[in-house]
Amino acid sequence: MSLDSATFPLVWMRQPTAEQPHDTAAEFAEFSRLLQREQPFVLLCDRRMDDDGKHDRDERTQIALWKRDHREALARWVKGMVLIEPDDVRRQAAEAFVDFASRFWGYPVQVVASERQAHELAQRLLVQ
């Protein structure tokens, strides 16, 4: 995952391309820098819900430890994550995931059908 903050406070989470190396430590350093800004933001994700997002055991451990160490900052500065899934069936499948993800990360995770809906929801989350 890479974070694109060019449209901050809307931050896009992007899957790396096949040419980009996967570097979990660098990804968390990037996320930490966003939290250190101490400004509210919303994560937007447009990757397909069936994309391979599996992590090996070491990565899952790194994720859990990083989240534990940044729990307060995540709750304070990340106002939510909006997943964009235009396919009705995949969007319904994603709905089962959002409750778990919201509890795990400590901020609301929601699924919408379009980028326009994502921007509207992100703006509402930012003013809450």
Cβ atoms within 10 Å, residue 32: 13
Residue 16: what pLDDT? 67
Q: φ, ψ for residue 14 (rounded to 5)? A: -120, 145
Q: Measuring CA to CA, which residue among 104, 5, 86 is closest to residue 50?
A: 86
Q: Answer yes or no: pTM beyond 0.85.
A: yes
Domains defined along the chain, listed by start: 2-127 (3.40.525)
Mean of per-residue pLDDT scores for the chain: 89
* Tens-digit pLDDT profile for residues 55-65: 678 888 888 89
Mean pLDDT of the 1-27 span:
83
- pLDDT confidence of 33, banded at 50, 70, 90? very high
Question: Amino acid identity, residue 11?
Answer: V
